[in-house]
Amino acid sequence: MVNRVILIDNGFLVHRSIFAFRSSGMNLGYLYLRMLLALIKKLNYSVENDLVIIAIDSKLGSWRKVFIPVYKSNRKSKREALESSDWWKECFKEIEQILKTLDLYSAFHIVEEAYTEADDIISVAVRYFQNKECIVVSSDSDLEQLAVYPNVKIFSIISKKFKNVKNPLKVLEEKIVKGDVADNITNPENIDIELRRKIFSLLSLPLEIETRIRSKLVSVLENKKQFDLNKIPYKSIKEDITKLLKGETL
């Protein structure tokens, strides 16, 4: 019986593994999987007790851009100031293949929904699984607002420790007032305050978005996986996932 839901924000994990690949030259897929397993290990994962969901940003972009077209429009240019567009595409393609393999053949579930962000998926999940302990794994302070729910704990990808979020709504209120440079919203006073709240709040999403994500989460629970670890790449990764499924310590 699942008692705990581990919700992993894929974005930071992807970029951290890509930058490690860029500096070390090691295999990108291996780096991604090794970082993922390090997080799982730190959380004392149990295949019988835990449901792992890796939340993915939609490749189609975010619904928020409909309301604010400049939303996160600076991200691509920042990436391409470091490496070419083709280089990034190849990196993302390699990790996408790894994620497909995990979704098909491992105990981990990959959730992506058109025009939604990983934050959206995680926010709906903590409400959908309101009777389960939900561990939100991310470096994104935006997700700290979800600690307002009693079933939510925030685990930092960077420190690999649980965060004591004393004021879950502080980040949300600050973003509503000041905007967010990282989201490319630098002049919030030019945007209606209710629209800002709609864009930044993860506590209440547009009904159509919430409904579509909930439908995806239902399919996760209905997906009775048949593990095939022979499909998992890299010998040491395969061995470690096998240990996890057997309840052994990595």
pLDDT at 250 over 80: no
Structural domains in the chain, CATH included, are 4-237 (3.40.50.1010)
Give the residue-averaged pLDDT of 46-64: 95
Q: Check whether 131 has a pLDDT greater than 90.
A: yes
pLDDT in the model for residue 224: 76
Quickly tell me which residue has 């939100």 as its tokens: 136
Mean pLDDT within 196-205: 96
**pLDDT tens profile 203-222:** 999 999 999 999 999 998 88
Mean confidence (pLDDT) of the chain: 93
When pLDDT is cut at 50, 70 and 90, the band that residue 248 belongs to is confident
What's the predicted TM-score (pTM) here? 0.95
Q: At 244, is the pLDDT very low, low, confident or very high (cuts 50, 70, 90)?
A: confident
29: amino acid identity, one letter:
G
